[in-house]
């Protein structure tokens, strides 16, 4: 079961230990900018093919140009953006030919991450994830799909960050850059199903069952992918 956060992670999720203090953000400025841009790209705030203006981003984040420029180099290496001497950095287009392979790799790596998360998650971690899941559901109910997609990114990023497998998470983020999140999340009814799937993942996480969490994550990924197949959108609409 998830453990409470004390000097050591060693208590059941339901024990009455004090809440852990907020986690310190140890990322560098360029890492924070890169994460901001990843979320914006996955959520559709920065649409595919759109130009990313360094000065505008720096002003929005109240930073100098330097960390923004370095963040764009990180994202270009990961495949989120493409570099162009004329237009500058642009959000990379979706490559449909690579989707099946990306799906298979996501299933493989994200199951490994969720299994490690089950082993290391604390009660405080679960509370934070439930708060993000609730924020996601509320955003979709209010009709703000861009906000919901952004929260969804933070939910999965937080969920996998608990696993403490930075190299695996790095490769997963590269795969996310090549995945059609924008197309999947545009399907009517996807938000409702995703919210239920998040709850299944959190229920498995709270129970401490690695196999249940892996199965819930596999179903979550495959459920979204299935909406892109012929007839998938129609099934989602009828379920809404």
Distance CA 120, CA 129 (A): 14
Question: Selecting from 1.10.760.10, 2.40.30.20, 1.10.3720.10, 1.20.120.530, what CATH number does the domain 96-239 have?
Answer: 1.20.120.530
Distance CA 67, CA 46 (A): 18
Alpha helices by DSSP H, 24-163 = 29-43, 54-61, 65-78, 99-120, 123-141, 145-161
- Indicate the CATH number for domain 29-91: 1.10.10.10
Mean residue pLDDT across the chain: 84
3-state secondary structure of 23: coil
Phi, psi values for residue 40, rounded to 5°: -65, -35
How confident is residue 99, by pLDDT bands cut at 50, 70 and 90? confident
How confident is residue 57, by pLDDT bands cut at 50, 70 and 90? very high
Could you read off the pLDDT of 185-219 as tens digits, one per residue?
Answer: 778 888 899 999 999 999 999 999 999 999 999 99
CB 156 within 8 A of CB 217: no
Place of tokens 């764009």: 72
CB 134 within 8 A of CB 148: no
Place of tokens 């024990």: 15
Place of tokens 């007839």: 231
Output the six-digit token pair for 167. Answer: 């190299």
Half-sphere exposure of 12 (CA within 13 A, CB side): 3
> Taking 80 as the threshold, does the pLDDT of residue 27 lie above it?
no
Could you read off the pLDDT of 121-168 as tens digits, one per residue?
Answer: 999 999 999 999 999 999 989 988 889 989 999 999 999 999 999 999
Q: Which residues of 129-159 are buried (b: 16+ CB within 10 A; e: fewer)?
A: bbebbebbbebbeeeebebbbbbbbbbbbbb
Distance CA 165, CA 1 (A): 19
- The pLDDT, as a whole number, for residue 236 is 40
Distance CA 197, CA 200 (A): 5
How confident is residue 227, by pLDDT bands cut at 50, 70 and 90? confident
Domain regions of the chain by residue span: 29-91, 96-239
3-state secondary structure of 125: helix
Mean pLDDT calculated for residue range 53-82: 94
DSSP 21: P
**What is the pTM assigned to this prediction?**
0.77
Place of tokens 């971690």: 125
């Amino acid at each position: 079961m998830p453990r409470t956060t004390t000097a050591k992670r060693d208590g059941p999720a339901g024990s009455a230990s004090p809440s852990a203090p907020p986690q310190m953000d140890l990322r560098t400025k360029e890492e924070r900018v890169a994460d901001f841009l990843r979320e914006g790209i996955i959520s559709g705030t920065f649409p595919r093919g759109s130009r990313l203006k360094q000065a505008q981003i720096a002003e929005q984040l109240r930073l100098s140009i330097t960390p923004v420029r370095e963040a764009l180099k990180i994202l270009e290496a990961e495949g989120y953006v493409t570099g162009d001497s004329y237009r500058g950095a642009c959000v990379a287009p979706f490559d449909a030919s690579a989707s099946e392979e990306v799906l298979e790799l996501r299933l493989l790596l994200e199951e490994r991450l969720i299994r490690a998360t089950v082993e290391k998650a604390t009660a405080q971690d679960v509370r934070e994830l439930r708060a993000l899941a609730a924020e996601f559901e509320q955003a979709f109910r209010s009709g703000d799909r861009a906000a919901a997609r952004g929260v969804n990114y933070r939910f999965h990023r937080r969920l996998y960050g608990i696993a403490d497998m930075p190299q695996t998470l790095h490769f997963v983020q590269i795969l996310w850059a090549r995945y059609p999140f924008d197309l999947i999340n545009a399907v009517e009814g996807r938000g409702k199903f995703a919210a239920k799937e998040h709850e299944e993942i959190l229920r498995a996480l709270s129970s401490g069952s690695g196999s249940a969490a892996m199965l819930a994550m596999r179903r979550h990924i495959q459920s979204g992918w299935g909406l892109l197949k012929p007839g998938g959108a129609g099934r989602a609409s009828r379920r809404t």
